[in-house]
Amino acid sequence: MLPSPLPSESLTSESSVDSLDAETCRSLRDNQYNATLIERIDIHDDLFRVRVRPDAGIRPFEPGQYVAVGLGNWEPRLKPSQEENLEPKKMTKVVRRAYSISCPMISADGELAPCDKLDYLEFYIALVRQASDPKGKPPALTPRLYGLNQGDRLVVESKITGHYTLAGIDSGDTILMLSTGTGEAPHNAMTAGLLHRGHHGRIINATTVRSHADLGYEREHRLLMERFPQYRYLAMTTRDPENLDPAHPRYVGKQYLQDMFTSGKLAELAGDPLDPANTHVFLCGNPAMIGLVKAGEPIPARPGMLPLLSAAGFTNEVVGPGHVRFEKYW
């Protein structure tokens, strides 16, 4: 899919660019940027898949890992987004954020495309226009990242890192991956990696998003399910009409992963008992879904997955079947 250029009036220079002339910006880019955006696939205005090719190639990495991506504070910010007032000395700095490496999963000619066999990195990134805490710092990177188009330059750190990987998994084990929103990214990389290495146990990739419009990889998941009977993609929503309107003919209520798990609906849809004896669990995305409770803190009224999984016999301490791994995005 070709990138759809953003209307120029949606980008604003704000204070940062006003104070740096075009020649300074050009020289900062030339000196610091080390990668090129080669393709941008817009799912909707606030969600995209983006492919980036680092100039120096890509060091070996494992599905599930992440890398830092950055842009200069001198780059314009997409509007509407929370206003940012930077001190002059910060204008020439690069802001970096971690991004899980996602995966196209299926190549243009219909072949399985594991992320570590490509000459680019794919990311799945939501635009954050506003900090969730009204007093919080304005989101620094994504309002700038969303201004980029094909051919534009940016920073990608050479070090790809992270412990959220497929280590210690046997080929017949059940893999249960649960995500919210763009937390699906590492699971897509893991899915393609598992299928590519001939994993024959069940692979369940379940995600909850607000609306069906937020499913950036639905077509690829359907194709994989047609080809690999051990693979199941479960897409669930919380804000579509069938989630909100009890009179809707297909009313299902809000499909939060926690409720789906405790009610047994997730196991039913997965077609698997999700037994800790042979199931590895991966949780990625919104911290409220993950539900990490620090020692001494009470479990909230709506617990996240970690306490629910613990009550069901899973653990995040011992590696092996029954093990839970998680990656919090904030």
Ligand X SMILES: Cc1cc2nc3c(=O)[nH]c(=O)nc-3n(C[C@H](O)[C@H](O)[C@H](O)COP(=O)(O)OP(=O)(O)OC[C@H]3O[C@@H](n4cnc5c(N)ncnc54)[C@H](O)[C@@H]3O)c2cc1C
Residues that bind ligand X (CB under 6 A): 66, 97-100, 123-126, 128, 131-132, 137, 139-142, 181-182, 185, 327, 329-330
Sign of CA pseudo-dihedral 7, 9, 10, 16: positive
Q: How far is the CB of 108 from ligand X (least distance, A)?
A: 22
Q: 154 vs 270, which CB is nearer to ligand X?
A: 154
The C-alpha angle with vertex 129 and arms to 127 and 132, in degrees rounded to 5, equals 110
Placement of tokens 């998994």 in the chain: 169
- CB of residue 163 to ligand X, shortest distance in Å: 10
- Tell me the closest approach of the beta carbon of residue 97 to ligand X, in angstroms: 4
* 99 vs 314, beta carbon nearer ligand X: 99
Q: How far is the CB of 213 from ligand X (least distance, A)?
A: 15
C-beta of 84 vs 275, nearer to ligand X: 84
Give 218 or 275: the residue with its C-beta nearer to ligand X: 218
Number of alpha helices (DSSP H) and beta strands (DSSP E) in the chain: 10, 15
| Smallest gap from residue 159 Cβ to ligand X (A) | 13
- Residue where the block lists tokens 């084990």: 173
Cβ proximity to ligand X: between 167 and 311 the closer is 167
Residue 54 CA, chain-centre distance (Å), reads: 20
Distance CA 121, CA 141 (A): 18
SS (H, E, C) 110-174: CCEECHHHCCCEEEEEECCCCCCCCCCCCCCCHHHHCCCCCCCEEEECCCCECCCCCCCCCCCCE
Both tokens of 229, joined, read 């009977």
CB of 321 to ligand X, least distance (A): 25
Nearer to ligand X, 190 or 270 (CB): 190
Helix, strand, coil percentages in the chain from 3-state DSSP, rounded to 5: 25, 25, 45
- How far apart are CB 149 and ligand X at their closest, in Å? 18
- β-partners of residue 123 are 50
Q: By the 8 A CB rule, do 174 and 146 touch?
A: no
Is the CB of residue 97 less than 8 Å from the CB of residue 68? yes
Nearer to ligand X, 43 or 223 (CB): 43
Question: Which residue minimizes CB distance to ligand X?
Answer: 139
The CA distance from 229 to 227, in Å, is 6
Whichever of 118 and 131 has its CB closer to ligand X, that residue is: 131
Q: What is the CA radius of gyration of the chain?
A: 21
Instruction: For residue 92, give both structure tokens.
Output: 């020439």
Q: Min. distance of Cβ 285 from ligand X in angstroms?
A: 7
